[in-house]
Amino acid sequence: MLRGVLTGILGLAYAFIVWTAVFQLIQFAQIGIVGTAWILLLLPVVLPVVVFVAVLAVTRRRTLGVFLLVMLAGLGLSAVFWLDTLSYTLRNATTLLG
């Protein structure tokens, strides 16, 4: 029961990262971006989903503490990756626009 609640709450945090990455992709796509920018902006959309599924698969038979720790570590990894991508796109926007 508690594992399901924690999975749902942390899943919402992962979904927030995906949602903000999709929003950034839409904003840049409306302006017009080059092909490499599509790849760069799609990675932070896909990575949190992959990390979430991997964490669920790896911690399936672990204790609740290990599950929570690995889930938070994956969330931190996804958030840092998105922030790095955001920083890169803001600093180099002129090279990404077509």
What mean pLDDT, rounded, does the chain reach? Answer: 95
Give the pLDDT of residue 77. Answer: 97
pTM: 0.90
| CA–CA separation, 4 and 31 (whole Å) | 41
pLDDT at 78: 97
Residues in the chain: 98
Are residues 74 and 49 in contact, defined by beta-carbon separation less than 8 angstroms?
no
Structure tokens at 28: 């840049």
Token pair listed for 87: 């920083």
Mean pLDDT confidence for 8-36:
95
Sign of CA dihedral 73, 75, 76, 82: positive
User: Cα–Cα distances in Å, from 76 out to 17, 38, 82?
Assistant: 10, 23, 10
